[in-house]
Structure 1
Amino acid sequence: MAATKPRGLSRTGTTLAALLALMAAAGCASYSDAPAKASSPPSERPSKADSPKRPEPKPKPQPPVSAADGRDITACADGNCEIAVSEPVRIPFKGPRGPATLSVTEVGPNSIAYTVKSGNGQSKGSASGPGQGCITVLRSNGSGNSCGGLGAAGRPSPQPDAVVIQAATGENGTAVLQFVSD
């Protein structure tokens, strides 16, 4: 004698199989032989701080700063040069009253600070911000500074019996110094 299935159970199994197929097609079901895991309480769930960190995007490399004399501070010895600086540096040059020195004390993205010494006198300049800079005019009877926006100033003009120094900030942390003497 063959065993017979109850009629309702056969229909329920067929209905359940159809429902599971629909859920799988809709992406709502997951089949696994592993026992279902209980949900962790909120205090035990990993926080965003615990999640793996994405690597920081690398900054876009800036084009190299163009200066006629590159980074060669010895090119300034005669009071005429154009150099790029990206760290504090001491630059000796010929001033209107003999030996003089420009000391870059700070340089960074869009900033520069420096001191010019000649004889017993000294002059300081500093600028920060895109397109900013300073012009120092060193004369035999003293010096003067003007700092602010340089715009498209270009190379400073020579002045009689003077050394004109222009220091322009750069966004990549490199400043351009131009020395002009007559």
Structure 2
Amino acid sequence: MRARSVRTGAVAALLAAAALTACGGGQDNADDTAAPGDGKTKSSPAPATSSPPAKPSPSFTAADGDDLDACKDADCEVTVSEPVTIRFKGPAGPTTLSVTEVARNKVEYTVKSDNGRSSGGATGPGQGCLTVLRSTGSGNTCGGVSPDTAPSPQPDAVVIQMTTGPTSTALLQIVSK
């Protein structure tokens, strides 16, 4: 009985050694943190590229492209792909529009003027917000919007429409009368 136990142990040890050799191929590839001079190979990371990240392609065509200076007269249509600040004269005086976040199908912004503050944000394909600024205050509405339809000018008001885009680019339309 003792001879049989020794043979079983020897066979188990041989099978274990064979399995390790077959799986590992004789090299220890699982340890990429090898110490210098220990005989193990260390994988090297892929070389880093030095080119800047590509600017997202707009998902729509804007009349003024991405020229934010076109908005200084409160009448423009531009694409926005990152947080920006735009200043223009609103119905209640100097106004600041701050686009605070632009992501895939997402946009958030804040408008500040002498008579208050308004903010809007939309998430999802084909979503956006419409903000109407008047000397007596402002109002927002958010939901489904069409980037193909510019907001209508209103008397004594500035109308701002922000529309989400699928490529981390939003469409900003500002109209005044």
> Which range, TM-score by smaller chain?
0.5 to 0.7
Q: Please point out which of 5, 12, 19 is paired with 1:40.
A: 19
Q: Which amino acid aligns with 1:165?
A: I
Q: Quote the offset at 1:40 in angstroms.
A: 2.5
Q: Quote the offset at 1:97 in angstroms.
A: 1.6
**Structure 1: which 5+ residue stretches go unaligned?**
1-37, 51-60
- Secondary structure, counterpart of 2:19 in structure 1: coil
Q: Identify the residue that residue 13 of structure 1 maps to in structure 2.
A: none
Matches within 5 A, 1:1-182: 40-41=19-20, 44=23, 65-151=60-146, 154-182=149-177
Change (3 A) 1:153 1:41: same
Q: Which amino acid aligns with 1:71?
A: D
Q: String of CA shifts for 1:66-112, please: whole Å, max 9, x gaps.
A: 11111111111111000100000001112012211100000010000
Q: Which amino acid aligns with 2:19?
A: S
Output the TM-score relative to the length of structure 2: 0.68
- Secondary structure, counterpart of 1:74 in structure 2: helix
Output the TM-score relative to the length of structure 1: 0.66
Q: Identify the residue that residue 31 of structure 1 maps to in structure 2.
A: none
Backbone CA RMSD of aligned residues: 2.6
* Residues in 2 aligned to 1:64 and 1:151: alpha-carbon distance in whole angstroms: 13
**Structure 2: which 5+ residue stretches go unaligned?**
1-16, 31-55
Identity in percent? 61
Change (3 A) 1:158 1:115: same
Q: String of CA shifts for 1:138-163, please: whole Å, max 9, x gaps.
A: 00100000001114661000111000
Q: Which has more radius of gyration? A: 1
The count of corresponding residues between Structure 1 and Structure 2 is 134
* Residues in 1 aligned to 2:21 and 2:146: alpha-carbon distance in whole angstroms: 56
Flag as ranges the 4+ runs of structure 1 deviating above 6 A: none
* Residues in 2 aligned to 1:179 and 1:116: alpha-carbon distance in whole angstroms: 12
